[in-house]
Amino acid sequence: MLDDIERILVTREQIARRVAELGQQISRDLNRLRDEDEFVMIPVLTGSIIFVADLMRQIPKKVRISVVTVSSYPGPATSSKGVEIIGGLPDDLADRYILIVDDILDSGSTIQILRKALLDRGARSVRVCVLLRKDIPEAKEVKCEYVGFDIPNEFVVGYGLDYDHYYRNLPDVAVLKKDVMR
Ligand code: IMP
Ligand code: MG
């Protein structure tokens, strides 16, 4: 697996520092909620598993976790083939304060579709936190309250992000060698 890496773009140390900062920022913003307000983190599977595991432990607040599954890259594809919410949204979203957590903002379709679907279900507030955002106009135009890192427009893997279902377990965010990607 390590032989397939061309270069590391964001190291595990940089990620850890930034995740702690994001956690502090989100926690501060949550201070405006009242005790009876319900806060729900909605991680987008599968790419956000590692990020959300780290991020939620930096947010010392009462929170529920409800996952959603979104598919946009079937198989060995490196550009979005259209977004689909699989298995529906969690129940009980009315009046909730929601934080969508995703690995990366690319075309922005995932975030836009999810934010709208959650607001349509009656969520009181929907905010978005992504670890990475690609430096492309489409991504920058999408509303996103919390961004970990802006990165060049390259296909990346690691820290939850996959290529053809592999490499999620790399601790750093990396670019693969050209000959590895079909
Ligand atoms: P969007 O809907 O185009 O913004 O794409 C977002 C989803 O595509 C992310 O949640 C990722 O699962 C996937 N994705 C986008 N760019 C990359 C990448 O560089 N590597 C791995 N997955 C990616
Ligand atoms: Mg994803």
Enter the tokens of residue 60: 């010392």
- Band of pLDDT at residue 166, cut at 50, 70 and 90: very high
Residue having the nearest C-alpha atom to atom 20 of ligand 1? 156
Any atom of ligand 1 within 6 Å of the Cβ of 107 = yes
User: Which ligand places an atom closest to the C-alpha of 72?
Assistant: 1
Task: Point out the ligand nearest to the CA of residue 168.
Answer: 1
pLDDT band at 153 (very low <50, low <70, confident <90, very high): very high
Report the predicted TM-score, pTM, of the whole model to 2 decimal places: 0.95
Q: Is residue 103 lining ligand 1, measured as CB closer than 6 Å?
A: yes
Alpha-carbon distance of 86 to 161, in angstroms, equals: 18
Alpha carbon separation from 6 to 15, 27, 100, 182 (Å, rounded): 19, 36, 31, 15
What 3-state class would DSSP assign to 102? strand
* pLDDT tens-digit readout, 115-150: 999 999 999 999 999 999 999 999 999 999 999 999
DSSP H stretches of helix in 121-168: 137-141
106 is catalytic: yes
C-beta separation of 166 from 1 below 8 A: yes
9 lines ligand 1 (CB under 6 A): no
Q: What is the pLDDT of residues 3-34, one digit of tens each?
A: 999 999 999 999 999 999 999 999 999 999 99
**Tens digits of per-residue pLDDT, 43-60?**
999 999 999 999 999 999
How wide is the angle at C-alpha 119 spanned by C-alphas 116 and 120, nearest 5°?
85
